[in-house]
Structure 1
Amino acid sequence: MFIRLRPLPGNLRGPVYTESLLRAWQRVMAPQSSLMTQREGITLVIGSFDGEVGLAIECADELRNVIVPELQDAYPGLEVSFDREEGDDDHLVMHSMELTLSPDVYSLRTYESFLDEPERALADPLAGLLSAVRCGRSGRMACAIRLTIETASPRRVRQHRRIGERLERGFRSDEWRRRYARWACDRRAARRLVGCFVGCLLRSADRAPSPSNVKGAESLFVCRLVVECRAPADAAQIAKKRVREMAAAFGRFASDDCRFLVIKGLPQRSQRTRRFVTSIPLRSLRPRRFLLTAKEIATLWHPPVVSADSVSRAQRSVFRELEAPLRLPSNEERGVTLLGRVKFRSQRQQFGIAADDLRRHMLVVGKTGCGKSTFLQHVILQQMQQGRGVVVIDPHGQLIDDLLDHVPRRRTNDVILFDAADRRHPVAFNPLQGPPGSDPTLVADSVLTAFKKVFGFDETSAPRLLHIFRHCLLTLVGIPQATLMSVQRLLVDANYRKTIVLQVENAAVREFWLNEFGRWHERQRTEYIASLQNKLGAFTSNERLLAILCATEKGIDLRSIMDRSQILLCDLSKGAMGHDASTLLGSLLLSSLQLAALSRADVSESDRPDASVIVDEFHSFLSEGNTSMADALAESRKYRTSYLLATQMLEQLDRDTLAGVLGNCGSTLCMTVGPRDAEVLADLLGEGLTPNDLMRIPQYHGYLKLLNNGTAHTFSMTTLPQPRLTQRRADIIRKASRLRHGRSQTVIEQELTRQYGA
């Protein structure tokens, strides 16, 4: 089994964790009794893979389930991928060289000697080995360092202990000590016998000081180190040079008493031959292998720490995986909306959100192309399949187009397609006709709030215009057959104004028209009216808006859609109808939705059907200082209206709105975001996530802070794949919606004539 490892950048867990793992693996590899054979060894690889450099492990399948979980526990965020064997090309020629440690009774320089004292940080020696194996981007050549380890046998450990004891007793001179150590640890048996003889003869009471770097006998491994380069036959000289460079890179680990030596250059061979040779157990090969402790091996091979992040083309994990809670809602539970799959190590189970947690709303943040629309599409389709009321507001139109083909057959007649670009059969919408029993002041304020967004002024910049416009709306709300198109007529037609004012019940509004408005100087009044007409004219001259907003009947009944669990799909494509017109319609719809939700107070909570409002790019419909969205999120839960809001950038929201959205959305999904949003969301999501983690999230991945039974947990996830298209139903849905809710051009022209021709 070939296991590739990709650590996260900025790793602060150094070789000490690998050392601890090696001690644990040694116990796993060791035979459980004298009658059992030792398990096959583990090969630790530092190599170039597909133009990048990184780490890998080769081991038996039975060891994989031990090694991988422990590695991922020791190094959080470590990405692991599996392959049956290293991806080699049989046409490449292998050039390799075997190294040995001489004498191996002494210790190498370990990671403790590579500490940067002023910074108290590890100057990772692995950076040099990674640089040594780096090859060109073409992939014609690949280099690798392979350190194969097995648990040292008891006999080998005893031999090592005896040699160490003899060294501690001292020799007549330092030169004889070095010779004895070199001969006693030699790979050839004859020299080891000579060393044993010399050790017995040259012991003396007149001892030379013994070095202190004799390695201990605990956690010993028998090792084989090979450096290799795979290259085409015409690049043999370059490959041989690369092999020598890799061997030289181990010079940094040499101590005063031991160093790596080249045993020999191994013969050239094809990849098929190499795989056969490396499949032979290490203990069956000759010559004798050298000893390393767990600390020495951890120094030579470990996931790189932060000081090695500068190594060019090093394989890195781009997505920090976070563990999900033990119990998550699943599709087997009633009322659960599936959101995606858990992404943590080998865990890939589907999960969802319960209806009560969804009522506490959800926020989705991510750049364009990161997978937001796919996520929204799955959520909306499940709401449809579960028979719930759904309102979708899409300023681009693509999400609506994708949804139409997937509407369940049994819900065809529940769909109201509000396509603002439909010239032939537009659907009417009169925001002045609020829900039954609604307060006219609330209706007028909701419309005024929507126009503030597109007018671009507020109470401080244009107080008089807002004052006039507010009283126009208060006058027309509740008047039969009044529309937004009636505002201009109310301002310029004195007879019409006189007729309408007589129907107004609000004394303050009547006082405005009868006294305040009439006391203004004619020139002053004309200036105010002209300014307001200029603002309104940009919309009343828009044919598409006229066809929608001139309807004297109510048209879209948002309260009825919620109560009857219907489906309202609002295609407000900016490309088809213009940015300002799309923004105005979206703002009017959101304001009216809030009123419709509040009007459900006349029904007991248990009798209120759930309704979901999904708004893509919701920032487009909110003006600065407009707290309507924050208010809607705070109040709508008790009316069983859940909001799912999606946006590309949080910085497009003003401070108060952002605080209201973040504070009232119980669940938050973060996909790829920019640096400013990353700082805000890293604090919100917690779990040790950094802004860099949030800026490099892959497509269709994300971090979800999920509300589960009232408690929020953050974990990593992936979205579900694109829904499979079984039948194109968009044309059927469009025709059915037009027949039920569309209006003909004849009716529209008659209404326009009646309103403007009188």
Structure 2
Amino acid sequence: MQNLFFIFVLLAVLWFLFRAFRRDAERRKQAALDREASESRRLSECEKVVRYFANYQGYIARSVVSREELEEQIDSSMSSDDLCSFIAGRISAVGGIELGFQGIGRSGIPVILPEEYRDRHIYVIGKSGYGKTNFLRYMIIQDLEKGNGIGVLAPEYEMLTEEILPFIPENRVEDVIYFNPADLAQPVVLNPLHIEAGEDIDLHVDEAFTILQRIAGEGGPRMDEILRHTLYALMERPGSTLLDIEPLLDRQDVTLRNEVIRTTSDEQTRQFFQHIYPQFPKDAHFPVVNRIGRIIRARFVRNCLCPPKDTSFSTSEVADRLLNIRRAMDESKILLFNLSDGILGEAASQLIGQFIVSKFQTATMSRANEAKQTRKPFYLYLDEFQNFCGIASKSYEKILSRARKYKLGLILAHQQTGQIPLELLREIFGNVSTMVSFQVSQPDSLKLSKEFINQFDFEIETLEPEELLKLNIGQAYCRIGRNTFPLRVPKVDDHPDREMAEIIIETSRQKYGIPRIFPSTGSETRHNHQGDDPLAGLDPEEVFD
């Protein structure tokens, strides 16, 4: 009986041990299955992260993280969140400019545009009030902090005085060149007829001729011949301005024409003014003189495009103070062009803007004589750039197609595609590598959606037009290369430090402006630079003589 009891106890113990072993085996099996499922989920999540960056930021992700590195990180049991942070960290470390974030606010993944993509230009479009100007300012402030050379053409002076000037770093105040045609006392002057050493006179003549011909209107072959030879003669003559066109063509006083005949090194110019021009009818020059005269009649146009004769500066000092776009690009200056059409008038603003764009085009081409590795990048922002198109759209086309190798990057922004010529729009679509669209009109959504392509797993897809209509303020779609993705741009903090803006403007005037002597006072004291509106209370007609 006792033996049976012991046998029962032994069997019970063995049964208990068997059950325990079985439960332990099942737990180990389940744990293994859980680990396998967890690993499968981790690998799946990591794959999603890799696909996300490949599909949306492949333009940069592939260049900062190799396949071998990804495999190594994934094999080390890295979580998908850590893998995302690893790749995003590599992207953030790349030299470039931050366009915004993928995600909500600042909690998303930063979108970095590498420097090499900036040379291929940026096109920005969007309705008024949806974040386009804030996006430009977001990039401009970064360029200022990085020490990059920039130019900004703004049709509203508030963009400069309230949204850019207050953000100038203290160590860059001396770099600011503030171009303000409404500063009648000490303006920064851009002379369209001035050529720097090494620049191509043929290119300068072509650019100036095209702009003046458009503004003056078609006048026939004879007028074109007179205008072109006049430009060659004056550009070869140091110190010439648009105001010298009339004296050169004057039939009564031939002093200037005789000087050109005597001093020109161009035989065609000499032959034209010595033998051909005198045989033209006495009134042959009237169309040129009258039409160009209308252009430079506006005081603000003369003020910023024609160096003053009534100045205490010597001729060499005036020449040295003329705005030299090429030198500004090479020295990474900050060029701010106040082209407010509300102050200058629409025609004057457009004319001056076209000459500025033309000068950038010729300055950029002149970099061909500089070693590639020494060319410093320069970025030109043009807000509402359609205001500065006209026939200068040909300059845009040349810059878009050629400027990349000369390290000039354009940032072109406007509200709708109908504002620019169709040929220029096609040129933009064919040359820019980065496009950013905030909310646009329904017709524009149909045009633009075809340009926002994406390559998902080797398949090309385009954006649905409706996506561009549903964007809220600060939201956009961005295409870089063949990667299209939603973008959110943070609101730049307001920084209305008008006192700082005034200090910077005055510093620029004293360093780069050419002072005028006014007969009424005999001094150089009349100030008209902009803190508040400098023409407040003036009748628009008062800006013309």
Counterpart contact for 1:449–1:626, Cα < 8 Å: no
Deviation at 1:363, TM superposition (A): 0.6
Deviation at 1:544, TM superposition (A): 1.6
Counterpart contact for 2:185–2:515, Cα < 8 Å: yes
Do structure 1's residue 643 and structure 2's residue 410 form an aligned pair? Answer: yes
Counterpart contact for 1:444–1:470, Cα < 8 Å: yes
Quick one: distance in 1 between partners of 2:197 and 2:503? 32
RMSD: 2.8
Quick one: distance in 2 between partners of 1:630 and 1:378? 26
1:352 maps to 112
Query: Residue type of the partner of 1:447?
Result: A
Distance 1:342 1:549, change over 3 A: same
Quick one: distance in 2 between partners of 1:652 and 1:396? 17
Name segments (4+ residues, structure 1) moved above 4 Å. 326-331, 344-347, 747-750
Aligned partner (choices 162, 187, 207) of residue 426 of structure 1: 187
Counterpart contact for 1:678–1:694, Cα < 8 Å: yes
1:622 maps to 389
Query: Residue type of the partner of 2:223?
Result: L
Aligned partner (choices 435, 451, 459) of residue 212 of structure 2: 451
Quick one: distance in 1 between partners of 2:173 and 2:105? 41
Quick one: distance in 2 between partners of 1:627 and 1:540? 23
Deviation at 1:549, TM superposition (A): 1.9
Query: Residue type of the partner of 1:472?
Result: T
Distance 1:744 1:657, change over 3 A: same
Aligned partner (choices 681, 684, 688) of residue 448 of structure 2: 681
Deviation at 1:748, TM superposition (A): 10
Ranked by relative contact order (alpha carbons within 8 Å, sequence separation 6 or more), the top structure is 2
Distance 1:469 1:696, change over 3 A: farther
Say how many residue pairs are matched: 423
With structure 2 as the length reference, what TM-score do the two structures score? 0.72
SS of the equivalent of 1:421 reads coil
Structure 1 gap segments, 5+ residues each: 1-32, 34-65, 74-321, 751-758
2:257 maps to 497
Do structure 1's residue 732 and structure 2's residue 503 form an aligned pair? Answer: yes
1:394 maps to 154
Higher percent of residues as helix: 2
- Superposed CA offset, 1:641-700 (max 9, x none): 111111122222223222212111111111122233222211111344233332342222
SS of the equivalent of 2:151 reads strand
2:294 maps to 538
SS of the equivalent of 2:451 reads helix
Query: Residue type of the partner of 1:592?
Result: K
SS of the equivalent of 2:506 reads helix
Aligned partner (choices 322, 326, 336) of residue 96 of structure 2: 336
SS of the equivalent of 1:627 reads helix
Deviation at 1:426, TM superposition (A): 1.1
Counterpart contact for 2:211–2:391, Cα < 8 Å: no
Quick one: distance in 2 between partners of 1:726 and 1:494? 55
Which of the two has higher C-alpha Rg? 1
- Superposed CA offset, 1:95-136 (max 9, x none): xxxxxxxxxxxxxxxxxxxxxxxxxxxxxxxxxxxxxxxxxx
Counterpart contact for 1:625–1:656, Cα < 8 Å: no
1:380 maps to 140
Deviation at 1:468, TM superposition (A): 1.8
With structure 1 as the length reference, what TM-score do the two structures score? 0.53
Q: Which moved more, 1:618-627 or 1:508-517?
A: 618-627
Do structure 1's residue 363 and structure 2's residue 129 form an aligned pair? Answer: no
- Superposed CA offset, 1:381-411 (max 9, x none): 1111111111111122232121011111110
- Superposed CA offset, 1:427-479 (max 9, x none): 11112112321121111111122224433x35xx6443233212111111121
Aligned partner (choices 57, 67, 70) of residue 325 of structure 1: 57
Query: Residue type of the partner of 1:677?
Result: D
- Identical-residue share of aligned pairs (%): 27
Quick one: distance in 1 between partners of 2:150 and 2:392? 28
Deviation at 1:515, TM superposition (A): 2.6
SS of the equivalent of 2:263 reads coil
Quick one: distance in 2 between partners of 1:422 and 1:400? 15
Query: Residue type of the partner of 2:476?
Result: G
Quick one: distance in 2 between partners of 1:533 and 1:449? 16
Aligned partner (choices 316, 319, 328) of residue 553 of structure 1: 319
Counterpart contact for 1:616–1:647, Cα < 8 Å: yes
Quick one: distance in 1 between partners of 2:463 and 2:356? 36
Q: Which moved more, 1:339-348 or 1:490-499?
A: 339-348
1:506 maps to 266
Aligned partner (choices 234, 239, 258) of residue 481 of structure 1: 239
- Superposed CA offset, 1:473-496 (max 9, x none): 111112111011111221124221
1:472 maps to 230
Distance 1:370 1:487, change over 3 A: same
Structure 2 gap segments, 5+ residues each: 1-26, 28-40, 49-53, 62-87, 308-317, 454-460, 523-545
Distance 1:699 1:501, change over 3 A: farther
SS of the equivalent of 1:454 reads helix
Quick one: distance in 1 between partners of 2:99 and 2:486? 12
